[in-house]
Structure 1
Amino acid sequence: NGGILREDDLAQIPVPIEREPLAGRFGRDQLFTMPLPAAGRTLVELLNIHRSLPRELRDIDTPDGAVCLAKAIQQALIDRNDRPIDPNLYPQVTDKQMLDRRYAREVARRIAPIRTSGETTHLSVMDADGNAVALTQSIENVYGSCAASPQLGFLYNNYMSAFNYTDPSHPYYLRPNAVPWASVAPTIVFRHERPWLAIGSPGSERIPPAILQVLLRLRESSPLAAVDAPRIHCSLQGVVSAEASRIPTDVLDALEAAGFELNRREPYSFYMGCVQMVMADGDRLVGVADPRRDGAAAGPASAPAKLAPAE
């Protein structure tokens, strides 16, 4: 169509690589998420840190719990930023530290307070045969490259902006056949060895924290309430974005007292991701679309026996 890409350019694209999913634990359930170069390891590290916190600090809706959540998100993003690994160049390398529960316990001890008194789309699907799919597709920035195919009607991505351009030794430096790192973390949780939950989100580096907060709230809340609940995010620089008007004042005060710069966002902020999930709940399939962006939940109302039972 007059563009710069030719057929021989497309012929050089390697065959898609099938990778083993990254395994983790969510309470008593087993979780599988996206391996490198995606951000599943960030989500697993966050879950490991959270489960290593004292029980009284695990409620993310309390002041101390919110401070611990922000510190955990910041540390996990620092770890990810400090440990870029290209699995195509070094398939034998795994990030043992980010996945190590002993390291998570160290982080949990460090972040526990001392007491003196982009544009991305996610699809979650379950079917009648017990199959589950969590699929995240990204064109990087909102509207990607801001150019669309007039014949095919889709937007071209600008994912080359995710490469490193300054350090030739960097695993994600732009080179032939290079793969950029990604923030996606599509995840499937198994209960009793059967799919129980498919979940994911757009939102760049906010993706793992958004999924984490929904997973944690699912322990006490309905799927809709867990997705609807207010969220926070902590940047590498220690700036906490918060849907402030929906968060108790004492929680916000505690974050500021802990040294975080507070960025107050709107009640249902586009910035905070858009979690899309489907869950097998007894004889029902429950789908939830995040109200923060466009999305919808649809499908049959009953779950087949092959799916995970409710607990």
Structure 2
Amino acid sequence: MVRSCNRSLPTTLSSAGARLGWSLFRSRPTLMIGALLLLLSLSPVSAAPVSRDDPEQADTRKSRISTAAGSAVVVTANPLASKAALNVLASGGHAVDALVAAQAVLAVAEPQSSGLGGGGFLLHWDARRQALEVFDGRETAPERSRSDDLLKPSGDPLSYRAATRNPDAIGIPGTVALLWEAHQQMGQRPWSSTLQPAIRLAREGFLPSPRLRSSVALAQRLGATHNLAFQQLYLPGGKPLPAGRLFRNPALARTLETLAQHGGRAFYEGPLAQRIQSGVNALTAQAPNFKGWSANDLASYAVVRRSPLCRVLMKHRVCTVPPPSSGGLAVLQTLALLEATGGFNDPDNPQSWRDLALAESWADADRLYWVHDPIDGSVPTQGLLNPSYVQARAQAMQASPGRLPQPGLPPGLKRFPFGRPGPGPELGTSHVTIVDGAGNIASYTTTVETVFGSRNLVEGMVMNNQLTDFDWRPVVGGLAVANRRRPGRRPVSSMAPTIVFNNQQPVLALGSPGGKRIPHFISRVLLAALQWAEPPKRSVGLPLLSPQGDSLVIEKDPPLPWPINPNQLNVPGRKLRSQTLGSGIGLLQRIGDRWHGAADPRREGTALALP
């Protein structure tokens, strides 16, 4: 456990009145119409189809940004999950009680993004103890893992589609262990009661949302014929779920009932754990080289408590999760690079957006090289955030904006010890942000990786394909890659649940899905909230951008129009590419004496509040 050590900081979040005035000014009809006409007149840039980089781009977008304000607020990616969580808070539950209810419902109603067969990170603020703590529930590699498990006999990597459905890609799930441990420490409602909404939905059924139905169709395109249970449940008769017909998952209802009766450890020990192990090991029928799980793989799984990673940036203390996630480091380094360069204060100036894109790409170069599971030695996070190192990187970034960045050598290190991996996919995630009436906060990002994970079902659960987040090639250029697969290791993640403090108290909490783009999304939202003084609705709805290799992806049809002509984002050496971006930001911000929540309309996000 780590106590918050926030320093007293001046307030930069504007008052509610100032925010409202700015919002009205920024959203005048003439400006809106002009911006829309500008978007229509843009010269076409290359559009990206659904791909390995964006496998959840088939989302149905909402026309309205869901917001709520009150003493307690819930923001999740699904209205059923938000309702279940709010009901728990209304009954006197803690933020963690509401989180358990939300994640259980997401496992039923949004299984393409998260579930009991996945993992995640929780950043929790305990208001009574004034303590901030990280719960690492990331999946682990089973003990029979080998570094070349996702390579062909020739030594070449498997194809993307083959790897995502390969049983060797399934990590030991950490979601249930995380929820159970957090509940045992902070929960105020009975564990069994928090699972009842999900049990009822799984047993009695619900109408599948447009996003769930489109995600099933996408899973079919990626390949789902390898698992009969998945086909029978999600593709009855070989077709995606029909609209207007109740969807039920009785096997998942039984799994949830077992957990409700026997507690979270039943997932890892006892009859349910044996059935999970047998179900995974039965997948050898589709992959003869799969070595399977041992009983010890589940029984030995443990949540890791970690110290949050915090830095004073933009006159606030920004705290997030440390390695094995690289997302938090990338967010902090992006903001630090922006502070070092200056000139990012005006959202109506294209240079502010160009600086953001450059800072994101330079932060990516460091995190993708240096971050690994800390079990293999410390990650140089302090050096990578050292002010003199950041200043030097900022100067190099400004001097050569067209250069594709390479990792830097932080203070105290004299050589690059690892092989340099290429980019890889990381996708299929959800986020939940909750504050209860006592001020406790849960910022929680959860995942099964690719849409519907491995598209393998065990005991009604979607099993992750999280081990594709290890670098598939363990050695590059004669050097071992830092993030290589080995038994018991946790693959590097981009998840970055974040809480921001001012005067030692939380004033903002957020997170997002989006794979390797997560820190790009969060950095942009933090810039809008902390530096541009935007209200939550605009912070979430303003356009996103994301550097990717020699391309700069700019959001097509954002919920709120671009305040600039995005064709002006002509960073030297980078091609502009326009496409939709599948974020799912859940934002909470304290304004005055109330919490305000905003849910990303790019998914089915819903914000609900108690008075």
Which TM-score band (shorter chain)? 0.7 to 0.9
Cα deviation, residue 142, structure 1: 1.4
Cα deviation, residue 8, structure 1: 3.6
Cα deviation, residue 250, structure 1: 4.2
Alignment-derived partner of residue 73 in structure 1: 360
Deviates more, 1:100-109 or 1:28-37: 100-109
Structure-1 separation of matches of 2:504 and 2:563? 38
Q: Which protein, 1 or 2, shows the higher relative CO under an 8 Å CA cutoff with sep ≥ 6? A: 2
Tell me whether 1:224 sits opposite 2:537 in the alignment: yes
Tell me whether 1:23 sits opposite 2:310 in the alignment: yes
Rg comparison, structure with higher value: 2
Tell me whether 1:98 sits opposite 2:98 in the alignment: no
1:16-61 C-alpha deviation (Å, 9 max, x unpaired): 111100011232221210000112111110110111122x344354
Asked whether the equivalents of residues 330 and 519 of structure 2 are also in contact (C-alpha less than 8 Å), the reply is yes
Matched residue of 1:177: which SS? coil
Tell me whether 1:247 sits opposite 2:562 in the alignment: yes
Structure-1 separation of matches of 2:521 and 2:487? 33
Asked whether the equivalents of residues 474 and 485 of structure 2 are also in contact (C-alpha less than 8 Å), the reply is no
Cα deviation, residue 224, structure 1: 0.5
Tell me whether 1:132 sits opposite 2:420 in the alignment: no
Alignment-derived partner of residue 474 in structure 2: 167
1:150-201 C-alpha deviation (Å, 9 max, x unpaired): x4x4311100111123225333221111110000011111121112111100
Q: How does 1:1-311 map to 2 (within 5 A)?
A: 1=275, 2-3=278-279, 4=281, 5=293, 7-13=295-301, 15-38=302-325, 39-54=327-342, 56-91=343-378, 93-112=379-398, 118-149=427-458, 151=459, 153-167=460-474, 169-219=480-530, 220-235=533-548, 237-244=549-556, 246-247=561-562, 250-253=565-568, 255-256=569-570, 258-266=572-580, 269-270=581-582, 273-301=583-611
CA change 1:291–1:249 in 2 (3 A) is: same
Structure 1: state its 5+ residue gaps. 302-311
The letter for the 2-side match of 1:28 is K
- TM-score, with normalisation over the residues of structure 2? 0.45
Structure 2: state its 5+ residue gaps. 1-274, 282-292, 401-426
Deviates more, 1:278-287 or 1:35-44: 278-287
Asked whether the equivalents of residues 348 and 564 of structure 2 are also in contact (C-alpha less than 8 Å), the reply is no
Cα deviation, residue 105, structure 1: 2.0
1:208-254 C-alpha deviation (Å, 9 max, x unpaired): 1111111111142110011000111111x13111124543664423x
CA change 1:90–1:132 in 2 (3 A) is: same
Structure-1 separation of matches of 2:471 and 2:399? 36
Q: What is the count of residue pairs matched by the alignment?
A: 287
Q: Which has the higher helix share?
A: 2
The letter for the 1-side match of 2:570 is E
Structure-1 separation of matches of 2:566 and 2:466? 36
Asked whether the equivalents of residues 448 and 465 of structure 2 are also in contact (C-alpha less than 8 Å), the reply is yes
Matched residue of 1:297: which SS? strand
- TM-score, with normalisation over the residues of structure 1? 0.85
1:111-143 C-alpha deviation (Å, 9 max, x unpaired): 3479xxx11111111112221111111111111
The letter for the 2-side match of 1:275 is I
Structure-1 separation of matches of 2:387 and 2:429? 30
Matched residue of 2:472: which SS? coil
Asked whether the equivalents of residues 585 and 600 of structure 2 are also in contact (C-alpha less than 8 Å), the reply is yes
Matched residue of 1:36: which SS? coil
Asked whether the equivalents of residues 319 and 499 of structure 2 are also in contact (C-alpha less than 8 Å), the reply is yes
